[in-house]
Amino acid sequence: MSVDLTEIQKSIQQTFRDFSDKKVRPLAGKIDEERKFPSELFKQAGELGFFGMRYPESAGGSGLDIVSYSLAVIELARGSLSLAAVCSMQSLMGTYFLYRFGDKEIREKYFSEALKGKKIGAICMTEPNAGSDLMAIKAMAKVSADGFILNGQKTWVTSAPVADFFTVLARTDNHDQLSIFFVPKNLRGVMVGKSIEKMGVRGSVTSEVGFVDVHLPKNYLLGEIGEGTKCLREILAEIRIMTAALAIGVATSAYEEAKEYAKTRVQFGKPIGKFQAIQMKFADMAVQLETAKHYVLFAAALSDKNLPRQKEAMIAKLYASECAVNICDEASRALASYGYAVEYNIERYLRDSRFTLIGGGTSEILKINIAKELGL
Ligand SMILES: Cc1cc2nc3c(=O)[nH]c(=O)nc-3n(C[C@H](O)[C@H](O)[C@H](O)COP(=O)(O)OP(=O)(O)OC[C@H]3O[C@@H](n4cnc5c(N)ncnc54)[C@H](O)[C@@H]3O)c2cc1C
Domain match, 320 and 301 both: yes
User: Of the residues 198, 362, 370, which should be mutated to test ligand 1's pocket, given the most ligand atoms within 8 Å of the CB?
Assistant: 362
Domain match, 242 and 341 both: yes
pLDDT digits (tens, 9 = 90+) for 42-96: 999 999 999 999 999 999 999 999 999 999 999 999 999 999 999 999 999 999 9
Domain match, 49 and 139 both: no
Q: Into how many domains does the chain fold?
A: 3
The mean pLDDT value of the chain amounts to: 97
Domain match, 345 and 256 both: yes
User: For 159-179, what is the mean pLDDT?
Assistant: 97
Q: What is the CATH number of the domain that holds 62?
A: 1.10.540.10
- To the nearest whole percent, how much of the chain has pLDDT over 90? 98
pLDDT of residue 37: 98
Q: What is the CA(372)–ligand 1 centre distance, in A?
A: 19
Q: Residue 1 pLDDT > 50, yes or no?
A: no
pLDDT of residue 3: 66
182 domain residue, yes or no: yes
Determine whether the shortest distance from the Cβ of 129 to ligand 1 is under 6 A: no
User: For 308-315, what is the mean pLDDT?
Assistant: 97
Shortest-distance Cα residue to atom 17 of ligand 1? 359
Q: Residue 212 pLDDT > 50, yes or no?
A: yes
User: For 349-356, what is the mean pLDDT?
Assistant: 98
238 domain residue, yes or no: yes
Q: Which of 115, 147, 171 is the last residue of a domain?
A: 115
Domain match, 237 and 367 both: yes
Q: Residue 306 pLDDT > 70, yes or no?
A: yes
Q: What is the CATH number of the domain that holds 158?
A: 2.40.110.10
Closest ligand 1 atom to Cα of 93: 8
Determine whether the shortest distance from the Cβ of 140 to ligand 1 is under 6 A: no
Shortest-distance Cα residue to atom 14 of ligand 1? 156
Determine whether the shortest distance from the Cβ of 201 to ligand 1 is under 6 A: yes
Domain match, 193 and 315 both: no
Three-class SS of the chain:
CCCCCCHHHHHHHHHHHHHHHHHHHHHHHHHHHHCCCCHHHHHHHHHCCHHHCCCCHHHCCCCCCHHHHHHHHHHHHHHCHHHHHHHHHHHCCCCHHHHHHCCHHHHHHHHHHHHCCCCCEEEECCECCECCCHHHCCCEEEEECCEEEEEEEEEEEECHHHCCEEEEEEEECCEEEEEEEEEECCCCCEEEEEECCCCCCCCCCEEEEEEEEEEEEHHHEECCCCCHHHHHHHCHHHHHHHHHHHHHHHHHHHHHHHHHHHHHCEECCEEHHHCHHHHHHHHHHHHHHHHHHHHHHHHHHHHHCCCCCHHHHHHHHHHHHHHHHHHHHHHHHHHHHHHCCCCCCHHHHHHHHHHHHCCCCCHHHHHHHHHHHCCC
Q: What is the CA(133)–ligand 1 centre distance, in A?
A: 8
Determine whether the shortest distance from the Cβ of 262 to ligand 1 is under 6 A: no
Q: Residue 215 pLDDT > 70, yes or no?
A: yes
Q: What is the CA(213)–ligand 1 centre distance, in A?
A: 27
Determine whether the shortest distance from the Cβ of 157 to ligand 1 is under 6 A: yes
Shortest-distance Cα residue to atom 30 of ligand 1? 131
User: For 139-162, what is the mean pLDDT?
Assistant: 97
Q: Which of 58, 81, 115 is the last residue of a domain?
A: 115
pLDDT digits (tens, 9 = 90+) for 186-201: 999 999 998 999 999 9
Closest ligand 1 atom to Cα of 204: 1
Q: What is the CA(130)–ligand 1 centre distance, in A?
A: 8
User: For 7-24, what is the mean pLDDT?
Assistant: 98
Domain match, 74 and 125 both: no
1 domain residue, yes or no: no
pLDDT of residue 194: 86
171 domain residue, yes or no: yes
Domain match, 242 and 296 both: yes
pLDDT of residue 87: 98
Q: What is the CA(132)–ligand 1 centre distance, in A?
A: 5
pLDDT of residue 293: 98
pLDDT digits (tens, 9 = 90+) for 282-296: 999 999 999 999 999
Determine whether the shortest distance from the Cβ of 243 to ligand 1 is under 6 A: no
Domain membership of residue 210 as a residue range: 121-226
Q: Which of 115, 142, 170 is the last residue of a domain?
A: 115
pLDDT digits (tens, 9 = 90+) for 113-145: 999 999 999 999 999 999 999 999 999 999 999
User: For 242-268, what is the mean pLDDT?
Assistant: 98
Q: What is the CA(365)–ligand 1 centre distance, in A?
A: 9
Determine whether the shortest distance from the Cβ of 327 to ligand 1 is under 6 A: no
Q: What is the CATH number of the domain that holds 307?
A: 1.20.140.10
Domain match, 238 and 222 both: no
Determine whether the shortest distance from the Cβ of 130 to ligand 1 is under 6 A: no
Domain match, 260 and 278 both: yes
Determine whether the shortest distance from the Cβ of 44 to ligand 1 is under 6 A: no
